[in-house]
Structure 1
């Protein structure tokens, strides 16, 4: 068939123009675009090249007939008029794909059956055998399209969809189709970047589709070389010698490409099983020498250091929320991705394919181009970035109206005394904070008995927590002193009183002891060591970060490399974040509060730590410990002083129960492991029987940083326990 005939190439919606360019580059003549398809003219050699070389098409269809029809009879008669003997044998097996409907042809199944009857009856009427039906691997696949009364009958020359290259033996969760992956790479100008020896990195590579498609594109390897079945094999006009010559040329080109050096292509994923799947797919494609994948958290994302890589493409398809994970947690994963791009890949191009536009906007980096596409049935966007300082989105801070009178506010004598103490403490802590990069710290903790509050600084924000006043202090005096505290803080820190978080404690019971302000849903992102931490100063009794345990958490980060870490009564899991950043193999965080566990997952996501290696578990830690069969190298046990939650089997009293808790935790500790036990009970007394069973190192004084090293009883006690 040297003469040109008319064909249809189908593709995912949104790729029509890219497909038209590809058809033209392979020698075809694009004619007309429709949604998800391109009609074109070509000769047989061009069609063979398109089947073998197309990175974008789903199917290549030879148009046999086009006719008008609305009814089942119209469909039957139109198909019966086709000369089927020119295209297939009566002994061939067939399968019919039908798309479209009318008032009479109400579903694709009925349309396919009527179409099959027309083909079968055509051969029976001529005294030939009845073609059999094989839905899985037919000799001939027939494609019928019905759109607004126009019926198009085609022969499917591709067989199964061309996106199935033949290298994927197993897919990770929510895999990206190969032709869509190729389109993303083309839109991100990967061929141009590769031609300039740029690198390709996918930090959440899944089954490796973007990496494999990127390698084949850079090396100019035909994507169809691994396919075993083709729809034209049973077609009577198939020219086997022409096909073999085209395949031989592509094979020779591939063999030559495999002998050359190509750009750096690397992929990472936090899930070891998924990395193994990607490696298997890469080996199936014969590209293991050119694509390297490894298990790595997003928190460890950085450019490879073994060679100079000053430009390249960072491209990835992160979870969307509709498919994997929970959107509030994924928000922080996207923020971490954007921050890592800005921190480590300046001068590179970036491409993020997401089905959640809101998450894409929260990356903190401005895209210069966006493409609307479909990933299956999910409306998605490809966001393109010129990574660099100019692309960084400066987050607008809340519009805080600073009261001009704050500094000149006339304080009472008591308020002035409190302000002087604040300034004295700030000066005392200044050098220590600067040396250690401390962003969150306690500046005052009931230093003067009359003013029984704790004042904590969280970045540029201030949090005041009132302690319970003695029964001998009149309520009006307690209220006056708190007002003086707020006014002094407002002056010292130059903050509006409305923008100081205040937790007022009154003579009530339980959670009602604190007068909670109306929820603001204001979450701050702050730094502790290398970890980013989410803090909410207004909506809960606690802020999400216990400041007094800072030294212990940072020590966990220093000790955690290649360790299995268990965080009991984990709260918002900041210790687990520190362990993960420190290189822990795995972390497990156990808590009974769904709210805190959700908060924990957000903290982990914000730091690029995946749930596959950093688990959160809901449960009563006492029961969980007794049922635990695993061993851990490093355990943090920091229970509350007292708890009578309805979700617990019994009341927890740390003075009474700490011996049992420590024994159960030690049962889960590896032989050379370390258990860190801490309690905030001020009059705590350690069970001396424990000192005869274990090596107990009192680290209380060490564990109190400068901002908590005050006289009197320590705010907490801490022991390091080994066998």
Structure 2
């Protein structure tokens, strides 16, 4: 069986590990979920044991859809008799759109009509539609021309465990609370006897989830309604075995001791709700809540050091935000004064409020609370003898240099100015990988990029006329400014010197240390990048607009990506609905990287090919046509894998002409290169239409340096 297990954005990697631990096979992490295969036994385990999932969706049909009639036909083609009972009531949840289906209610209606007509034509009575509490919930998602029809295996969101029937004004979903606890390493802390405190506990979600996690109680054991009982695949005996195991774990928990877990709040009504929820979970006497203000919070001598985790108010109106600044500061002051050796975790939808804590976060994780983009900021509380973090003093763990030279201060000022200028654009686009500085001040010649919160600093190699000592001093000033502006320790910044690499050197590892890849998002695509191993990270940021343009133009078309690097443009094309992509590069390293990008986005290789070849040789032997071609060659290459040296100024005419030979009559070739002195030989290409689209291909973050690349759209004359 094929499944898609959903979760809020921000902890898909945790969900992937959890699904693998429950026996899922062929797991593929994607946006807001994990696609996987598994037997029926896995599905039962998932709905009972997952602490992180929202829904376990059983995929029963995928089809290409252009019109509403296509959608109707796809839904009616499902063999509903082999899936569910004819007397089961149902409801349709629909998401997505295309040109013909631009309303989710309309899409749901067409699917509903198809299901009803299927049962009628099969000789059964019309099934009931129950939008509130259906026996079977059909989940339909339309994305980039493909519809996926699935059944919600549990019948409702798994974050609704069943124990929390009372809550405060702004409750945290149970699976989000579990993800935060996992990010903070609570299972290991609990195993070592460490404590947990929530000083603003509300209805007790952190406390209850922490206790269930420490006791290994399956969170689904409290639920009473399961939709799979109405499905034809349901095997009661197999389910009872799984459920009995879960009940046994719950019974065992009653006699198992817990480390100290305490919650405090200053509002009696929510404390009563917390106590009632804790009792329904069978945790009375194990989890303690009490009335206390934040200022009164103290560490009892009997509490082993552990974690403080809380979800303080975010503030929606200006007056509220101003009042909350003092709350955040007070939380930091209490933690530093009375909880040395603990870790403080603050989950907030207003990271700017966290700045008033006057502490440096050791870790930051982006998560979503519904539609609200939030951050989990973790702070290690050091003893006063180690550091007074309130005053910003250095520690061995986080050396902080707050005094900058005049030159470093100028760089820091420019960085702050650039960050401020980019904020509206970043908020509008959601880009998490972007450039904040590109030799804006020529004497400080470096490029500074942000990748999902991590900093990548590339120094441009100084001319030979600059003394090495002077160049090193300038770079040290850049580095110090970056540390201060982005609140990073020196070893948290990826630093490189950018110089011309020749031949095989461009594929060699830049750093030997074991630096893991990080996952970043660009539009709908996810990519692996590595800020340390190679001179390039795996994602050329300046070509973002061209990749997104290609993604919007390739629905139902074929795409050829030459000098593909890690095939990021091909990923966008595949997700944009391209019927076929071919990605060509000489490097095994980059093609292996491209394969991992394909896997990350659940892109199969049947229609999306990776070809290791010299581009010139590939084009010479190519006998098929393509609708869209991307040609992004290096400026110069003398790799041993090539029969000849590539000089893009000298060779671009021949390359373009051969590309146009395989470009279909109505197609477009996008030719780009990064040679600053490049001149297009238009006289040799007069039989083609050539449009210089460089200006449109430069995004806001590269507007300070528009010579980063040149880009042309080339088509056949008709």
The two structures have a TM-score, normalised by structure 2, of 0.53
Shift of 1:220: 0.3
| Cα deviation 1:511-546 (Å, max 9, x = unaligned) | xxxxxxxxxxxxxxxxxxxxxxxxxxxxxxxxxxxx
The corresponding residue for 2:367 is: 373
> Structure 2 vs 1, CA of residues 81 and 265 (structure 1 numbering), >3 Å: closer, same or farther?
same
Alignment equivalent of 1:295, drawn from 260, 278, 291 = 291
Shift of 1:295: 1.0
8 A Cα contact 1:48 1:243, kept in partner: yes
Cα distance in 2 for partners of 1:110, 1:141 equals 17
Residues 1:90 and 2:86 aligned together:
yes
| Cα deviation 1:55-104 (Å, max 9, x = unaligned) | 00000011101110021111001111111000112211001110101122
Shift of 1:364: 2.2
Q: Secondary structure at the match of 2:60?
A: strand
> Structure 2 vs 1, CA of residues 394 and 168 (structure 1 numbering), >3 Å: closer, same or farther?
closer
The corresponding residue for 2:248 is: 252
Cα distance in 1 for partners of 2:86, 2:315 equals 50
Alignment equivalent of 1:226, drawn from 198, 217, 222 = 222
Alignment equivalent of 1:157, drawn from 150, 153, 160 = 153
> Structure 2 vs 1, CA of residues 353 and 341 (structure 1 numbering), >3 Å: closer, same or farther?
same
Residues 1:78 and 2:85 aligned together:
no
The corresponding residue for 2:192 is: 196
Paired residue total: 393
The corresponding residue for 1:111 is: 107
> Structure 2 vs 1, CA of residues 291 and 324 (structure 1 numbering), >3 Å: closer, same or farther?
farther
Cα distance in 2 for partners of 1:104, 1:289 equals 58
The corresponding residue for 2:169 is: 173
Alignment equivalent of 1:311, drawn from 297, 301, 305 = 305
| Cα deviation 1:168-210 (Å, max 9, x = unaligned) | 1111110000000000000000000000000110000001000
8 A Cα contact 1:23 1:30, kept in partner: no
Shift of 1:277: 0.9
Shift of 1:361: 1.5
After superposition, residues 249-398 of structure 1 pair within 5 angstroms as 249-305=245-301, 308-322=302-316, 326-389=320-383, 392-395=388-391
Cα distance in 2 for partners of 1:212, 1:51 equals 19
Cα distance in 2 for partners of 1:300, 1:30 equals 51
8 A Cα contact 1:319 1:325, kept in partner: no
Cα distance in 2 for partners of 1:279, 1:396 equals 40
8 A Cα contact 2:20 2:27, kept in partner: no
Q: Secondary structure at the match of 1:241?
A: helix
8 A Cα contact 1:8 1:37, kept in partner: yes
| Cα deviation 1:529-573 (Å, max 9, x = unaligned) | xxxxxxxxxxxxxxxxxxxxxxxxxxxxxxxxxxxxxxxxxxxxx
Shift of 1:304: 2.9
After superposition, residues 388-427 of structure 1 pair within 5 angstroms as 388-389=382-383, 392-395=388-391
Cα distance in 2 for partners of 1:323, 1:94 equals 41
8 A Cα contact 2:193 2:304, kept in partner: no
The corresponding residue for 2:14 is: 18
| Cα deviation 1:470-504 (Å, max 9, x = unaligned) | xxxxxxxxxxxxxxxxxxxxxxxxxxxxxxxxxxx
Alignment equivalent of 2:56, drawn from 60, 64, 85 = 60
Shift of 1:325: 6.8
The corresponding residue for 1:557 is: none
| Cα deviation 1:651-672 (Å, max 9, x = unaligned) | xxxxxxxxxxxxxxxxxxxxxx
What CA RMSD, in Å, does the superposition of the two structures yield over aligned residues?
Answer: 1.8
> Structure 2 vs 1, CA of residues 325 and 256 (structure 1 numbering), >3 Å: closer, same or farther?
farther
After superposition, residues 466-615 of structure 1 pair within 5 angstroms as none
Rg bigger for which structure?
1
- The answer for unaligned runs of 5 or more in structure 1 is 400-723
Shift of 1:377: 1.4
Q: Secondary structure at the match of 1:382?
A: strand
8 A Cα contact 2:64 2:147, kept in partner: yes
- The answer for unaligned runs of 5 or more in structure 2 is 394-401, 403-718
> Structure 2 vs 1, CA of residues 236 and 396 (structure 1 numbering), >3 Å: closer, same or farther?
closer
